Protein backbone atom coordinates (compact mmCIF):
# COMPACT_ATOMS: atom_id res chain seq x y z
CA UNK A 1 0.00 0.00 0.00
CA UNK A 2 2.78 2.41 -0.92
CA UNK A 3 3.06 5.08 -3.54
CA UNK A 4 3.93 3.74 -6.96
CA UNK A 5 6.34 5.28 -9.43
CA UNK A 6 3.47 6.47 -11.63
CA UNK A 7 1.82 8.28 -8.75
CA UNK A 8 5.10 10.02 -7.91
CA UNK A 9 5.54 11.10 -11.53
CA UNK A 10 2.02 12.52 -11.66
CA UNK A 11 2.58 14.46 -8.43
CA UNK A 12 5.92 15.78 -9.74
CA UNK A 13 4.26 16.87 -12.99
CA UNK A 14 1.49 18.71 -11.12
CA UNK A 15 4.02 20.47 -8.86
CA UNK A 16 6.10 21.42 -11.91
CA UNK A 17 3.05 22.91 -13.62
CA UNK A 18 2.00 24.83 -10.51
CA UNK A 19 5.36 26.34 -9.57
CA UNK A 20 7.43 26.23 -12.74
CA UNK A 21 10.94 24.89 -13.23
CA UNK A 22 12.73 28.11 -12.24
CA UNK A 23 10.93 28.46 -8.91
CA UNK A 24 11.45 24.77 -8.10
CA UNK A 25 15.17 25.17 -8.77
CA UNK A 26 15.28 28.17 -6.41
CA UNK A 27 13.37 26.26 -3.73
CA UNK A 28 15.77 23.33 -4.08
CA UNK A 29 18.79 25.62 -3.82
CA UNK A 30 17.42 27.35 -0.73
CA UNK A 31 16.53 24.04 0.89
CA UNK A 32 20.02 22.66 0.17
CA UNK A 33 21.66 25.75 1.68
CA UNK A 34 19.47 25.46 4.77
CA UNK A 35 20.39 21.80 5.26
CA UNK A 36 24.09 22.61 4.77
CA UNK A 37 23.91 25.41 7.35
CA UNK A 38 22.10 23.14 9.80
CA UNK A 39 24.73 20.42 9.46
CA UNK A 40 27.52 22.97 9.91
CA UNK A 41 25.97 24.32 13.09
CA UNK A 42 25.48 20.79 14.43
CA UNK A 43 29.18 20.02 13.82
CA UNK A 44 30.22 23.26 15.56
CA UNK A 45 27.99 22.42 18.51
CA UNK A 46 29.54 18.97 18.83
CA UNK A 47 33.04 20.48 18.72
CA UNK A 48 32.16 22.87 21.55
CA UNK A 49 30.74 20.01 23.63
CA UNK A 50 33.83 17.86 23.22
CA UNK A 51 36.44 20.64 23.52
CA UNK A 52 36.62 21.06 27.30
CA UNK A 53 33.65 19.72 29.19
CA UNK A 54 32.87 21.48 32.45
CA UNK A 55 34.61 24.71 31.52
CA UNK A 56 32.62 27.85 30.82
CA UNK A 57 34.13 30.55 28.70
CA UNK A 58 33.14 34.08 29.52
CA UNK A 59 32.77 36.20 26.46
CA UNK A 60 33.04 39.95 26.62
CA UNK A 61 29.67 41.52 27.36
CA UNK A 62 28.07 38.30 28.64
CA UNK A 63 26.82 37.94 32.17
CA UNK A 64 27.12 34.54 33.77
CA UNK A 65 24.27 33.64 36.11
CA UNK A 66 24.98 34.93 39.62
CA UNK A 67 27.84 37.17 38.53
CA UNK A 68 25.84 40.38 38.64
CA UNK A 69 24.85 39.78 42.26
CA UNK A 70 28.46 39.08 43.25
CA UNK A 71 29.57 42.39 41.77
CA UNK A 72 26.87 44.23 43.76
CA UNK A 73 27.89 42.47 46.99
CA UNK A 74 31.53 43.56 46.54
CA UNK A 75 30.53 47.24 46.22
Q: How confident is the model at residue 63 (pLDDT cuts 50, 70, 90)?
A: low
Asked, for residue 43, whether it belongs to a domain, the answer is yes
Asked, for residue 33, whether it belongs to a domain, the answer is yes
Q: Rounded to two decimals, what is the model's pTM? A: 0.46
pLDDT of residue 13: 93
Asked, for residue 6, whether it belongs to a domain, the answer is no
Asked, for residue 34, whether it belongs to a domain, the answer is yes
Asked, for residue 32, whether it belongs to a domain, the answer is yes
Asked, for residue 30, whether it belongs to a domain, the answer is yes
C-beta separation of 58 from 64 below 8 A: yes
Angle at 5 between CA 22 and CA 31, to 5 degrees: 35
Average pLDDT score over the chain: 79
pLDDT higher than 80, residue 1: no
In DSSP notation, 20-70 reads -HHHHHHHHHHHHHHHHHHHHHHHHHHHHHHHSTT-PPPPTT---TTHHHH
| Residue-range definition of the domain harbouring residue 35 | 20-48
- If one counts the domains in the chain, the total is 1
Amino acid sequence: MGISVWQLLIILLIVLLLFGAKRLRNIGTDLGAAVKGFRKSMREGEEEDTAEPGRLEKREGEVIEGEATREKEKS
